[in-house]
Structure 1
């Protein structure tokens, strides 16, 4: 969906209601948990956030408010969407003078904690109104030495003829988002620690 005006809350709610009745638009569900399928493009962005439980907690708070999407030209809406399997989220983006909506579904959530390490991660899969097919996995990891990292892993390919034609530019933008997302989470953690 492309428009010259910014999609409002009512438009987003109707869009999500329609997309929530749809199946994922790709067959490789859960592949972001392990070996990425060869028939897709792949991208990984990772950043060291700092050390310690306070850093992990700040990153987790940012996740729960979908801050990793706050890169200046992308938003995940509605913000109050809980990170739970089966929840749908709209991605509102602005590229040049056009606005677009895409839809994703949370397909996996992992919250692991033991005496030495902690990991919170979730994967979103694309729905039919998304320009790409595939998954993105967002992870916060705390190692046994306290090191906290943020990582985004994605496998993706075009979802339509139009997306295929524009793929070099779209791939650039999707990969730019992942790098910018890592920077956003890092800034959120620094701000919380200040």
Structure 2
């Protein structure tokens, strides 16, 4: 990341999803589920943007794996959402990343995707975010936007779980 040439994130509370104290003035979402897979397998799926692809997004990034400072543009139909990874980990007990919105993203805020070891062949998966409208369109359509965000957040966990359920994949 080059602070002289890279665009700034669209919110000041960088890293708040990881710290656990969500900032005031934003919508907060937090969904957790257990995944029937070892952490290493779930991490390989998450960190290589595969979960996002299976969600229907078209992630465009020079980074093959989510890493701090990596930029990714998420496309879903006509939606374009440029982001930068603000935190990433790939360790023996936890793996995941958080990305924040860049200029041009329809929302201002951050989303975290965190995997934590939860026992033999089990992994806990959390999707946590804070956001507020970032454009005139998302302000005008805020009720519908909130509904879509809630559904997408729950779907991230469901798609991750389905990927590792017996017979899936």
Q: TM-score, normalised by structure 2?
A: 0.86
| Equivalent position to 1:133, from 108, 111, 115 | 108
Structure 2, unmatched stretches of 5+, are: none
Structure 1, unmatched stretches of 5+, are: 1-19
> Which range moves more in the overlay, 73-82 or 136-145?
73-82
Who is 2:65 aligned against? 82
Q: Does 1:152 pair with 2:131?
A: no
Who is 1:182 aligned against? 157
Separation in structure 2 between the aligned mates of residue 27 and residue 41 of structure 1, nearest angstrom: 15
Separation in structure 1 between the aligned mates of residue 69 and residue 54 of structure 2, nearest angstrom: 25
Q: Once the 2 structures are TM-superposed, how far is the Cα of residue 190 of structure 1 from its aligned partner?
A: 2.4
RMSD of equivalent CA atoms: 2.3
Conservation of the 8 A alpha-carbon contact between 1:71 and 1:181: no
Which has the larger share of helix?
1
Q: Does 1:65 pair with 2:48?
A: yes
Separation in structure 2 between the aligned mates of residue 111 and residue 80 of structure 1, nearest angstrom: 15
| Equivalent position to 1:36, from 4, 18, 22 | 22
Number of residue pairs the alignment of both structures matches: 164
Instruction: Report which of the two structures shows the higher radius of gyration computed on alpha carbons.
Output: 1
Q: Once the 2 structures are TM-superposed, how far is the Cα of residue 70 of structure 1 from its aligned partner?
A: 3.3
Separation in structure 2 between the aligned mates of residue 136 and residue 111 of structure 1, nearest angstrom: 17
